[in-house]
Amino acid sequence: MANNTPKAIRGTQDIFGPDAEAFSHVVETFERVRKLYRFRRAEMPVFEKTEVFARAIGETTDVVSKEMYSFEDRGGESLTLRPEFTAGIARAYLTNGWQQHAPLKLATHGPLFRYERPQKGRYRQFHQIDAEIIGAGEPQADVELLAMADQLLRELGISGVTLQLNTLGDGETRGAWRAALIEYFSKVRGDLSEDSQERLEKNPLRILDSKDRRDKAFLADAPRIDEFLSDEAGIFFEDVKSGLKAAGVEFKRAESLVRGLDYYRHTAFEFIPDEGSAAADALGAQSTVLGGGRYDGLMESLGGPATPAVGWAAGIERLAMLVGEREADRPDIVVVVENDAMLGEATKALSKLRAEGFSADMIATGSERKRFTKAQKMDARSIVSFVSSESVKIQGERQSEIESVLA
């Protein structure tokens, strides 16, 4: 390679071969399952006005404060490459009057951008599949969404991953709990890790899932969400749990599971690999495969009417890592031109076969004598070889069927 060839941007990837097959398998499976649950496809722009994300996600979050790809367009407007789906979907819902379809079940997938330090399973351009139910405030919506996620993982053959479930309560609950946490941790501030001292200002809930030993000492006696749950929020959570049981979705209560983004209320969840499982091994430090929750406050932050909603997103690259490498499908037929004089005949045969729905490839270059061997290595179900006008040989499966197509 010439050394003046430009390199790919840091944190981006060119996906090909077995990895690309795994990637596309994830997307295809998602498309199939999403239809089973009657979610409708939507496509949103890859960039939005910066304020869409700043207002929806929260100015103080890491995503907004230091991870966005923002730039001015030629008209001087500040735009941002989407770092997540939810904010853009909410904006589309409001600006297009999609209220008329509420409750609206939406599914989408595509690239997202975050300026982060690249790592295994973490990229600057990454891809997610995403599902949302907008305009549905009842726990049944949470249950349906989680049942869909659960089925998706099962159909992908992913095991060793458990649904961790928590509630953050309604706005009031979350506020009271947050205040209690700040009060509690402020008393021992000096003994907390540096990271957690900072979290105390920005996002006290996050101290609860700190991995630092110094913080862990205080976690057992920290105020618990359940003490602050309003009656309504408590009933809501109970309904979600009993709905999941009825739907046959297994889960574990995770009291310290919180969400980084400001807009979450009530249900919060993540599918996380079990400790020591093959899945945990495959993902390294990136533990969450699929995560989401309820975001009843989001629409209002964008100036819309109060609109309840739930959603989740999952990293396609991470799911693909759990699926493992996949091979492309075997071709039905390989056509071998063992004699260049037969190229025309072979080309005609190839297009007839493809028109009949056979997947087919042709070998017609390189040494004539080596072409048959090359064809054999392609592991096709059948081989059609053109040696001469008197000698066209069909080997393998479905011989008579192929013969009648070529006749």
Residue ranges in contact with RNA by CB under 7 A: 1, 3, 7, 10-11, 61-63, 67, 84, 114, 116-123, 126, 128, 195, 199, 203, 206, 210-212, 259-261, 270, 284-292, 313-315, 317-318, 338, 365-367, 369-370, 372-374, 376-377, 379, 385, 387, 391, 393, 395
Nearer to RNA, 17 or 157 (CB): 17
Nearer to RNA, 62 or 239 (CB): 62
Taking the complex as a whole, the smallest distance from the CB of residue 100 to RNA amounts, in Å, to: 28
Taking the complex as a whole, the smallest distance from the CB of residue 396 to RNA amounts, in Å, to: 9
Please tell me whether residue 287 adopts helix, strand or coil conformation. Answer: coil
Nearer to RNA, 267 or 355 (CB): 267
Q: Spell out a b/e string for 275-313, using b for 16 or more CB atoms within 10 Å of the CB, else e.
A: eebebeebbeebbbbbbbbbbbbbbebbeeeebbbbbbb
Please tell me whether residue 154 adopts helix, strand or coil conformation. Answer: helix
What is the distance between the alpha carbons of residues 244 and 139, in angstroms, rounded to a whole number? 10
What is the distance between the alpha carbons of residues 132 and 247, in angstroms, rounded to a whole number? 19
Taking the complex as a whole, the smallest distance from the CB of residue 321 to RNA amounts, in Å, to: 9
Nearer to RNA, 101 or 381 (CB): 381
Taking the complex as a whole, the smallest distance from the CB of residue 203 to RNA amounts, in Å, to: 7
Taking the complex as a whole, the smallest distance from the CB of residue 247 to RNA amounts, in Å, to: 21
Amino acid identity of 237?
F
Taking the complex as a whole, the smallest distance from the CB of residue 202 to RNA amounts, in Å, to: 8
Give the tokens for residue 241.
């749990």
Please tell me whether residue 113 adopts helix, strand or coil conformation. Answer: strand
Taking the complex as a whole, the smallest distance from the CB of residue 343 to RNA amounts, in Å, to: 14
Spell out the SS3 assignment of 56-110: HHCCCCHHHHHCCEEEECCCCCEEEECCCCHHHHHHHHHHCCHHHHCCEEEEEEE
Give the tokens for residue 138.
């009842």
Nearer to RNA, 359 or 376 (CB): 376
Nearer to RNA, 78 or 391 (CB): 391
Taking the complex as a whole, the smallest distance from the CB of residue 388 to RNA amounts, in Å, to: 10
Nearer to RNA, 7 or 74 (CB): 7
Nearer to RNA, 99 or 151 (CB): 151
Residue 61's nearest CA partner among 225, 185, 206 is 206
In sequence order, the 6+-apart residues with CB closer than 8 A to the CB of 37 are 105, 144, 147, 148
Taking the complex as a whole, the smallest distance from the CB of residue 354 to RNA amounts, in Å, to: 22
Helix, strand, coil share (%) of the chain residues, nearest 5 = 45, 20, 35
DSSP 137: -
Taking the complex as a whole, the smallest distance from the CB of residue 375 to RNA amounts, in Å, to: 9
Nearer to RNA, 212 or 227 (CB): 212
Nearer to RNA, 224 or 374 (CB): 374
In sequence order, the 6+-apart residues with CB closer than 8 A to the CB of 216 are 210
User: How many helices (H) and strands (E) would you count in the chain?
Assistant: 16, 15
In sequence order, the 6+-apart residues with CB closer than 8 A to the CB of 44 are 82, 85, 88, 89, 92, 108
